[in-house]
Structure formats: structure tokens, C-alpha cells
Structure 1
Amino acid sequence: MVEKGDVVSVLGPNGAGKTTLIKNICRIQNPDSGFIFIDDTNIHNYKKREFAKRVSYVPQQIVPSFMTVFDSILIGRRPHINWAVTKEDEDMVWDVIRLFSMEKLTLTYLNQLSGGELQKVQIARAVVQNTDVIILDEPTNNLDVANQHAMLAMIRSIVKKNNACAVMIMHDINMALYYSDKFVFMKDGQVVNCGDKNIVTPDLVKEIYGIESKIMYNSGMPIVVAKKSDFNNEEKLNEIGWIKKK
């Protein structure tokens, strides 16, 4: 169960079913079985507009369009707009633009942005949508390490401040451990384990990724470290987010 204030990371190897899971949550796909509830209401009982006020979604990939950064972020306000865009809507967009330090990009077209800048626009759009639930498919995609930390810290801060919750697919298990409260580990389309940091053990890492590891601690924070026997296994290390695909 995901509660208000939670940041939840969904982890697992490629093809584990992570993206399918969050697409079911976002009503992009329908589950083969089972039900998903928000505040005791089946998500399929919400009308489309009401659901868009409850859940926002940041996909892994987006095709840049001939639209400015400001207008693209403003689209996030669409579920809340009645007859026309209000000053409140515009003010909220400007607040988020300043929060993401994108003031100089407001009139830049999306097809002129770098991958990292485009990712920031997508997340800013979800934030301005002002939902209870934010779903993110690899939010650190296309960001360098410094911006990955900055983005995840910002997401966590927004969730805590707004008493919302975030569910995000992550590949880097240590980045997830640092910024998340709960974890869902998947393999072969099944949830293998879920819970807080205490569920992350060498046995679980071995079961999910096939990597021999040990858990170390830095200021009370767990860190997964691969054992020397797997140092040169790029395929396995890539699954856990430690080697980027070329």
C-alpha cells in the first residue's frame, strides 16, 4: 500500500514488468486481473478529468514538439481549467518554472532542448498538474549524476510538502535507496518483495539481478556494493543501474 508522503521506487531487471505496472496505475493499460484503488475508489470508476486531477504521469520518452516550454508545462493545468486559463494557472506555471530554474527556457521550443532539459519539462508539467499521485518512468533519464540527485531531491521535497505520493521506476538501486521510503522489486512480471529499506538484502539482490553483493552503511543509509566476482559483468551491473548503456 502506498500512503500519502511516500516516495516508492519500483526496481527490477529489464522486462520485469515495471512499465506495465505503472501503465496499469495510469489507466494506459488495463490489468489482466486484480484492481487498483485510490482512496478506496477503483481507478476505473473515476471520470477521465477527475482521474487527471488525482494522477499525473511522466513517461520515459517524449517526442519533442513545436511548442514552447511555458505552454508545454501549462498543459499540466488542463484538468483544472474550465473556460479559460486563469492568472492562478499562469502563476502556478511560473512558480514551477522558477523551482526548476528554467526561467531562461520559457520561450524555447521543445525540439530545441537537450534530453535533460526535456526531462525537466516533463516533470515540471506533472508537478503543476497538482495531483495526489505522481507516476514517473525513470525520472533521472537523460540527466547527469548531479542533476539526478537534484531532481530526486526535488521530487521528494514536493511529495512531502504537498502530502502527495510518488511511484517511480528506478534502475540505480543506490539512488533509489537514498531518496525513497518504500520499494517494490519485480522479476518476470511478478512482485517478488516490497517494503522499506530493510527488505534490501544480498539474497534479494541475488534473486532479482543475479549479482553477488553486500550491504554497507554510510550515515545509516544502506548501499549495495557488488562483490569483486561481478565487477566485470557489465550486463548484470547495467541491470542495477551502475553501467549506462552505450
Structure 2
Amino acid sequence: MARCCCRALLALCDRCQACAGLLPPGTCGPVCPDCAALLRPRLGGYCPRCGELAADPDAPPFLCNACRLSGRPWEGFAFHGPYDGLLRDLILGFKFHGRLGQGRVLAGLARDAYRRAVARTGEGAMDPAGPGGIVPVPLHPRRLAWRGFNQSLELARLLAADLGRPVLPGALRRIRDTTPQSQLPGARRRANIAGAFVADPALVAGRGVLLVDDVMTTGATIDTAVNALRAAGAARVDVLVIAR
């Protein structure tokens, strides 16, 4: 029986965690070369403060109108790529089907995006000293019971192991069970999420934190979460999402 389990584990290790195809000999990493090409990071044509995407992916990063005119409540920002194609499929598979192997792939993409943002300077650069703790965007307890796990918390745990920083799962709580943002038009999302979060000053006051989520679309959820952390006395908030 033990031998069968070992064989099954070895077979899983030989499979691409994105497409489940066999990994070519000598492949370094959890995904095959074809999937790695589809998961290349977005390195140009985006706003460094919020990740808003421009039409030309080869353009240098530049501030969007919203960030130039009114700024954002966070300091550093990082993301991996647009929410489409294979990246979107991996996020949905992890989030709604509990495919933990894909979660490890996504955590690796998020870790690399974080490191790129630490290495750069200027607008949207991460704190080079690193965060005092990693804060996942929480689910309401009712939604958590329905889904069975919080994808942002699982990503934060995987990141914490890589970055050597503690996860602070109790630092931010969702106190209102809101309609899922994905089900609402952009104009209604900010009102829907208003007042949905409260942060614990005992865990964040005077501390720099890294807020982690899977996807940022309009930014309403991230804005509200960051403002709650600020209200609780967080000294600095950086934001890391996988897709934009």
C-alpha cells in the first residue's frame, strides 16, 4: 500500500500543475515550458501604484490618471499579470475547486511579483525592509463555511514560508456578509463593500503589513481593507495580488 502511495506521489510530481501533462525531463519548476510561457509576468504597460493595465504591454510602467490625481491609500503594489487565460483558470481552479497544487503555483507567481516590486524604486515599490506581517483579505464566516477555505489565507501561508514573515489571519475581519463583488457592476462594488472590514490595532498598530488577495478588479475591496488597516494604526500597507 505504501509503495502504491509513493508511486502515485511520484507520478503527481512528474505532472505539470497547470495542465496536468507530463513534465519534460529536466524541467525546473512545477509547470511545463508551454504553461510557463502562458504565465509570463506582465512587465510593462501598467500603473506601478495600482496595476491598471494599458493597451500596450510593452510600454514602460506609468501612473494612471486616478493614481496621478488622487493617489491610493497603500504604498507598495505588486501583481503578476492580467486576469485572463491560463492565469484566470488557475485562480478559479484553486479558489472554487480546492486544487492546492495550483495554489502552490500561484503562490510562486505572487512571490516573484513581490520580489520584483521590492527590487524596483519609485512609485509602487515595496518596503525593502519587508512587512512586519502578512494579512490575507478575509472571507465572512458564512462564506468561509460554504467554500471550506479562504484562498487568500492559503496564499498568505505559502508566501510566509518563502518570505520568512508571520501570517496575521486575525488582523483583519469581515464583519458584513456582502454580495460577491464579481456579481456586481463596477459602479455598485464600492457601496457593497463599504464598512465590511475591521482591523485589530493590537496586531497592526505601528506595523508595516503586506495585504494579500488573489484578484483586484475595480480595487473597491482592497481600498476598503487598506483603510480598515490604516484606521487601526498600521504604519504602512503594501498590496500584493496575483491578477489584475
| TM-score (norm: length of structure 1) | 0.27
| TM-score (norm: length of structure 2) | 0.27
* Bigger share in strand: 1
Q: State the structure with bigger RCO (CA 8 A, min sep 6), 1 or 2.
A: 1
